[in-house]
Structure 1
Amino acid sequence: MPAFTSLHARSRHALLAATAAALVGHGAAAQAQEAPANLGGATVTATSIDDKEAQTSYKVSRSTSATRTDTPLIDVPQTVNVVSVKQIEDQASNSIGDAIRYVPGIFSAQGEGNRETLVIRGNSTTGDFFVDGVRDDVQTYRDLYNIERLEVFKGSNAMIFGRGGVGGVINRVTKVANGDLIRSFRVEGGSFNHVRGQFDLGTPLGEVVSVRMTGVYQNSESYRDGVDYNRWGFNPTATFKLGADTTVTLGYEHFKDERVADRGVSTYLGKPLHTPRGQFFGDPDQSPTWTDTDAATLFVEHKFSDTVSIRNRTRYADYDKFYQNVFPTTVNTAPMTNPAGLPAGTYAAGTIVGIQGYNNFTNRKNFINQTDLNAQFATGAIEHTLLVGAEYGHQKTENLRQEAFFPTASNASGVTTIYATLLDPTISRPDIRWAQSASSPQNRGTAEVVAGYVQDQIALSPMFDVVVGVRYEHFTTKVTNLRNNQDFKVTDDLWSPRAGLIFKPVENASIYASYSRTYLPRGGDQLTGLSPTNQNLAPEKYQNYELGAKWDILPTFNVSAAVFQLDRTNVLADVDGDGIQEPVGRQRTKGVELAVAGSITKQVSMVGAYTYSDGTFLDDVSGTVKAGNILPNMPKHSASLWTRFDPIEQLGAAVGVIYQGKRYASTDNLVSMPGYTRVDAALYYNLSETVSAQLNVENVFNKRYFIYAHSNTNVTPGSPTAFKVGLNARF
């Protein structure tokens, strides 16, 4: 790790110095806000999105990310849900997990308490995260301080975003300098010593140059004993305009997240333990996790004419990630005599829990460059919006894992499992010895992608549109096992199509049918899953079939519905029970997603979701994962509704209701979390034209529930009633 750290420090300092010099020496120009040409419902420029809509409404009407052209969402043959910055602020959401609670078809998993893990249409992911359309896939927690909106794209998304994106992807659209004068501040305080502040400052520096800086600081404790969170970051951008047709944007972000990795409570006889909600299982003092992120971006756009433009986006990101956890395993189901870590004696079944630990250090460096050429033209009466693009990506990852060895009276070197009583499961073991076992990985890997893609949005008539596209990726993964110098190399040539037909009976409504396909190479979404046993196996394949409808009932209010089937094939399965896995397993998720977002009147705004999910394995995958088993962390029925009412301009109130049905903790379906209904609320008061206050209450009725799981032995209790008080100022 010292070599990793010193190398990282040098590269981080160089990156910071280079970016600062570029910002001071050159500035950068705002992305142009000129009215774009419109042809067949799409526009070529990437910069005509109205960010003010996201700042003032729960409804967002357009996106450049879904098709890489500025297209109304009603003309996109895919389920796209957008969480606006207005909704984020009203709900006092500070993380992606908070923000997606009112989005259909997407749920959170525990992620071992050190990373965001989302379950999208039944498929768990830690790597399908993007920022401004560029891959941002290290395992960590992300903040929302610097975004305009959070976009959720459902189904297989490889044609636009590349390999992976199996159930969907998450894209953060960031705030950039845009020529506006911005003075925005927010401070929060609340339960469990929650303290947070963030700011957004921007100004033009004449007609050509504008700059913007966003920042955040948070220091909070938790309802979980011994758990705390500390994070801070800043994101300057500078933009400049080189003539009437060329725009350049430079940006840099530093973000650090530190916390205690909390893996919740264990289970017994198929149910999570009913313990005090704050009871920590394991050793919180030996469970730190942190991530350092430094990222520099360059965006260039040039308009050749009103119908032809080119844009290029480059992002270099350097991530350091460390996590260490001392966590619970299984509860004893039979009496145990003289278990390690406890006084001698016999302990009855259901009275003690195993404790284990490990740590992992990862350094990842991503370089990704994307180029999009957009052109609009007509062939007779048929109008086209053509996208031709290319992407190059190079990702280098190093990782090292060590196991926890607990010294005992009879074994000074330590054992890998000790026990604690359920009455006192919080331990303190500063004497833990951290070392590699025979199977602990230490790898160096690179992933390189060269991709090209083409898409045509075809307006056949005022009532019918077609979207067709395909991406080709030449994806090479190389992994070196640093413990024995064994090398693995796999090259995948991936063809990922999409096709959609849109019928618009009226201008403000659409009905669509679509198909898309993506692949997940054997390295997995974190590029570390390659091994001698799977390196020659075909990648997993995902195919999404979808029928949907979208309707802007009002210019400010949208409803949408989708019926989908997502098929996963080439799942590794032990067919003959001989321990040899073959890519023959299948998994299927079928479902219905309903969503509403926007303002019904000037006084009433709402966002809501309903999801019916039926996700199962179609084949036996192992001795415990059988055909018919239900996918974990995915309720069959879920619903949420947030409604804000402003009776007068000065005063507002909101109520949120979240329901999730029973969920399984793992693929073997041996442990289930009961369903729950939680009620949240908020009050808003405008102290003046520029200053407002708000109160957010989570879990108003103090409901006991379990929010998510990582496995059968790691289940997280939900928070008791908690308060946040916020003060907002905009000048």
Structure 2
Amino acid sequence: MSLCRTHALVSVAMPLLGLAAPAFAETLEETAPENASGQITVTATRQAYRGEFAELEIPQAEQVIGQQQLRDVNALDLVSALDLSASVARQNNFGGLWNAFAIRGFAGDENLPSNYLVNGFNAGRGFAGPRDIAGIESVEVLKGPRAALFGRGEPGGTINLVTKRPRFETAGEVRMMGGSFDFWRGEADVQTTLSDAVGVRLVGFFEDAGSFRDTIETQRYGFMPSVAIKFSDATRLVYELEYARQEVPFDRGVVAINGDVDAVPRSRFLGEPGDGPNIAKVFGHQIELQHDFSDNWSALFGVNYRDTELSGFSTEAELTGSRQLLLRDGRTLTRQRRFRQYDAEYFVARGEIAGNFTSGDIGHRVLIGVDTDRFENDQVFLRVRAPSLATNPSQQQLQAIDVFNPVYGRFPPATPGPLTDRVEVQKSTGIYGQYQISFNEALQLRIGGRYDDYSQAVTNRANGRITRFATDRFSPQAGLVYQVTPQIAFYATYGENFRPLSGTDFGGNAFDPNQSEAIEGGVKYASRNGRLSATASVFSIRQSNILVADPVNADFQIAAGEASSKGFEFDINGQIAPGLDLWVSYAYVDAQVDNAVADPNFGLPVPAGSRLLNIPDHTLNVQLAYTARVAERDVRFGGGVLHVGNRLGEVGRDFDLPAYTLARLFAEGEIGGGVHLRADIDNLFNTRWFANSFSQLWLLPGSPRTARVTASYRF
């Protein structure tokens, strides 16, 4: 494919994808010259750390959840945004304290938040609490392994958040929101220019909310300013700061009794309100510098630093059967009391050169880069639990609560004792490259790979023992694209992935990294006018070195598990008629354990062929929105349906979370002078549903019918 046609395809694909390139597309857009028709032309764009490609040239499935889709579903956090992608399934969210999700059937470490990227930088590691969507321009679901570019990560795919950055204009929006269960929220997004060369954008939010859950109240606030500087037409810099603080009570949800998930009301809180909230904080900096050597070659350098902290008490259900009275009398829940002080620091620096050239009729696009990162995970964990029921413990020793008639504060708070006191440091330096060659106007080949030099050190402060581990990994990728028409392309790809595992085995040795390989194939469509896109794909992923119970040494683990996931996906997004926008995302995922193992948490046998936790076979999300002119003003209204199939609710048990279907409606319109009003109703039919579980004693119920009203002022 010729380079001129490549640039034409990029021009078509950009409005289709709603892309603001993670590094500088928004910054560049405001400086682009107007053409004769008065339209703004973007003269240069970059996808940070991925290269410059039109959607039909990428040999992998990708979804871009743009600002309009986020607004249509009134997404306020990352979980709500990711519900739009059928390829993403909710996982155990650690009592509401972090984001946890699986992509294409595979989740990460259950003891850490799911990782995600921000503008191409790893940012999900750490303990910042659930990610708020304020300050986010779009959410990218990059399906399949991406280790060849980003390094260690999850086998099913990568989530990349594209932030809001200065556009070199004076504009803004202020929103006030109120709704069910004493929900109140304010947001501001204001941008201006300090000079022709300096743009500033200020984004912030404050939220104070009750809940359908008894005694649960949360408070969150954050501030995300950014500055863009044009040193010249060829050199630009963006700096972003992130600060957020959340007060979130630890909430493991409700219990199932004899497999009955409706045994207690979904509002029932089974912790202790007297524990107070857990506090999650993040303070981060990100800076990127782009320099264009010419129209075809540029360099991009970036640094990211995040400091996160999570601390607080919790009282939660005891999961060990020999201590759990509920399993005997059907109403008295044995609980543990815990204290956590988790701190994490993450630093990463990346630099790359990207460009394109031709040799005859053949086009070449090259991406070469290097990065280094350091992740420090410091954990202090205290716990007090009941003795075995065989010792006839008292109600106070059990920290007992009646699930049908709870009395909070019945006993003085138990004092937790030491359990975990360690710090783990992971370091990695990687070199990566990607080369895509266009043989003709139809056929393109992509090859690439990444070499990582990785080390890990775990210091057990309780006994002074230090365990060190070092390895290296090469992660290849290869893909083929065949464009049969300007609107339709077939693709196939292969890739490998690895992810370090935290902790040590019985001998005090670090675990070998989790490894995976994946193949994928599909077909993509992009309409001539760039308003509609669709992708259908099939995939198969195999994963090894999964942590399972050590069959010889009780309460320890080994990296010996194997699992696989295969499935089919279909996504369509865009305008199907004037003013009518459609979003459809469907996924069939068959994810299972491949070898007979024992569950790492409770040692229960897990036969080969068992399903993976919280992974539905079928997921479907359909959203429809229509914009009309009413009384000389725009009015937008619509709704959607989310269906999630039944899921395994506890590893090693015959227990399922039921399937659910949720409906929602919204309407929004301008009343004059830049003032807009909006109304949302979620879970329209008040369906009882469960978002995820870890066991029958940790079930997270979903929200009942909720209503929200929003007033906003745009200028």
Q: Structure 1-normalised TM-score?
A: 0.86
**Would the aligned equivalents of 2:91 and 2:692 in 1 still touch at CA under 8 Å?**
yes
Answering whether residue 49 of structure 2 is matched by residue 71 of structure 1, we say: no
Unaligned runs of 5+ in 2: 12-20, 31-43, 599-603
State the Cα deviation string for residues 115-164 of structure 1 (Å, max 9, x = none). Answer: 11101111123232111111111142111110110111112111122102
Structure 1 residues 411 and 578: alpha-carbon distance in aligned structure 2, compared to 1, 3 A threshold: closer
Q: CA deviation at 1:361?
A: 1.0
Equivalent residue, structure 2, for 1:690: 674
Answering whether residue 596 of structure 2 is matched by residue 596 of structure 1, we say: no
Q: CA deviation at 1:174?
A: 0.6
Equivalent residue, structure 1, for 2:384: 404
Answering whether residue 92 of structure 2 is matched by residue 117 of structure 1, we say: no
Equivalent residue, structure 1, for 2:337: 357
Matches of residues 583-662 of structure 1 in structure 2 within 5 Å?
583-622=559-598, 623-648=604-629, 649-662=633-646
Helix, strand or coil for the counterpart of 2:233?
Answer: coil
Equivalent residue, structure 2, for 1:85: 67
Q: CA deviation at 1:578?
A: 6.6
**Would the aligned equivalents of 2:172 and 2:191 in 1 still touch at CA under 8 Å?**
yes
Equivalent residue, structure 2, for 1:134: 121
Structure 1 residues 288 and 45: alpha-carbon distance in aligned structure 2, compared to 1, 3 A threshold: closer
**Would the aligned equivalents of 2:621 and 2:640 in 1 still touch at CA under 8 Å?**
yes
Structure 1 residues 322 and 397: alpha-carbon distance in aligned structure 2, compared to 1, 3 A threshold: same
**Would the aligned equivalents of 1:332 and 1:349 in 2 still touch at CA under 8 Å?**
no
Matches of residues 487-636 of structure 1 in structure 2 within 5 Å?
487-523=466-502, 529-533=503-507, 535=509, 537-553=511-527, 555-573=530-548, 582-622=558-598, 623-636=604-617
Distance 2:538 2:253 in 1: 34
**Would the aligned equivalents of 1:127 and 1:138 in 2 still touch at CA under 8 Å?**
no
Distance 2:240 2:323 in 1: 59
Distance 1:441 1:108 in 2: 27
State the Cα deviation string for residues 676-701 of structure 1 (Å, max 9, x = none). Answer: 11111111122126221111101111
Helix, strand or coil for the counterpart of 1:216?
Answer: strand
Matches of residues 162-241 of structure 1 in structure 2 within 5 Å?
162-241=151-230
Distance 1:468 1:148 in 2: 30
**Would the aligned equivalents of 1:406 and 1:414 in 2 still touch at CA under 8 Å?**
no
Matches of residues 350-389 of structure 1 in structure 2 within 5 Å?
350-389=330-369
Helix, strand or coil for the counterpart of 2:605?
Answer: coil
Q: CA deviation at 1:359?
A: 2.1
Amino acid at match of 1:474: D
Equivalent residue, structure 2, for 1:12: none
State the Cα deviation string for residues 534-565 of structure 1 (Å, max 9, x = none). Answer: 73543211111111111123521111111111
Helix, strand or coil for the counterpart of 2:69?
Answer: helix
Amino acid at match of 1:595: D
State the Cα deviation string for residues 71-120 of structure 1 (Å, max 9, x = none). Answer: 22222111211111111122111111111112121011231221111011
Amino acid at match of 2:530: P
Equivalent residue, structure 2, for 1:286: 275
Q: Structure 2-normalised TM-score?
A: 0.88
**Would the aligned equivalents of 1:152 and 1:168 in 2 still touch at CA under 8 Å?**
yes
Distance 1:63 1:413 in 2: 67
Matches of residues 87-486 of structure 1 in structure 2 within 5 Å?
87-113=69-95, 114-125=97-108, 126-136=113-123, 137-139=125-127, 140-286=129-275, 288-329=277-318, 349-404=329-384, 417-425=398-406, 427-428=408-409, 431-437=412-418, 440-486=419-465
Structure 1 residues 484 and 534: alpha-carbon distance in aligned structure 2, compared to 1, 3 A threshold: closer
Q: CA deviation at 1:475?
A: 1.0
Distance 1:375 1:332 in 2: 60
Q: CA deviation at 1:406?
A: 7.7
Distance 2:541 2:280 in 1: 33
Amino acid at match of 2:470: T
**Would the aligned equivalents of 1:612 and 1:636 in 2 still touch at CA under 8 Å?**
yes
Helix, strand or coil for the counterpart of 1:360?
Answer: strand
Structure 1 residues 537 and 702: alpha-carbon distance in aligned structure 2, compared to 1, 3 A threshold: closer
Q: CA deviation at 1:276?
A: 1.7
Structure 1 residues 40 and 537: alpha-carbon distance in aligned structure 2, compared to 1, 3 A threshold: farther
Distance 1:45 1:684 in 2: 29
Amino acid at match of 1:116: N
Q: CA deviation at 1:729?
A: 1.9
Q: CA deviation at 1:64?
A: 5.1
Helix, strand or coil for the counterpart of 1:265?
Answer: coil
Structure 1 residues 108 and 101: alpha-carbon distance in aligned structure 2, compared to 1, 3 A threshold: same
**Would the aligned equivalents of 2:254 and 2:266 in 1 still touch at CA under 8 Å?**
no
Helix, strand or coil for the counterpart of 1:475?
Answer: strand
Q: CA deviation at 1:70?
A: 2.7
Q: CA deviation at 1:584?
A: 3.7
Amino acid at match of 1:640: N
The farther-off stretch of 65-74 and 98-107 is: 65-74
Structure 1 residues 454 and 281: alpha-carbon distance in aligned structure 2, compared to 1, 3 A threshold: same
Structure 1 residues 429 and 363: alpha-carbon distance in aligned structure 2, compared to 1, 3 A threshold: farther
Distance 2:337 2:518 in 1: 39
The farther-off stretch of 375-384 and 313-322 is: 375-384
Structure 1 residues 364 and 576: alpha-carbon distance in aligned structure 2, compared to 1, 3 A threshold: closer
**Would the aligned equivalents of 1:271 and 1:671 in 2 still touch at CA under 8 Å?**
no
Amino acid at match of 1:604: L
Structure 1 residues 45 and 199: alpha-carbon distance in aligned structure 2, compared to 1, 3 A threshold: closer
**Would the aligned equivalents of 2:149 and 2:433 in 1 still touch at CA under 8 Å?**
no
Distance 2:654 2:172 in 1: 53
Q: CA deviation at 1:50?
A: 9.6
**Would the aligned equivalents of 1:192 and 1:223 in 2 still touch at CA under 8 Å?**
yes
Q: CA deviation at 1:499?
A: 1.0
Distance 1:333 1:723 in 2: 43
Amino acid at match of 2:564: R
Amino acid at match of 1:388: I
Distance 1:82 1:279 in 2: 37
Distance 1:546 1:601 in 2: 31
Structure 1 residues 130 and 533: alpha-carbon distance in aligned structure 2, compared to 1, 3 A threshold: farther
Helix, strand or coil for the counterpart of 1:244?
Answer: coil
**Would the aligned equivalents of 2:318 and 2:324 in 1 still touch at CA under 8 Å?**
no
Structure 1 residues 67 and 75: alpha-carbon distance in aligned structure 2, compared to 1, 3 A threshold: farther
Amino acid at match of 1:104: A
**Would the aligned equivalents of 2:683 and 2:706 in 1 still touch at CA under 8 Å?**
yes
Equivalent residue, structure 2, for 1:343: none
Distance 1:473 1:405 in 2: 42
Amino acid at match of 1:717: P
Q: CA deviation at 1:504?
A: 0.8
Helix, strand or coil for the counterpart of 2:310?
Answer: strand
Equivalent residue, structure 2, for 1:26: none
**Would the aligned equivalents of 1:469 and 1:498 in 2 still touch at CA under 8 Å?**
yes
**Would the aligned equivalents of 2:506 and 2:553 in 1 still touch at CA under 8 Å?**
no
Q: CA deviation at 1:602?
A: 2.6
Q: CA deviation at 1:192?
A: 0.7
Q: CA deviation at 1:398?
A: 1.5
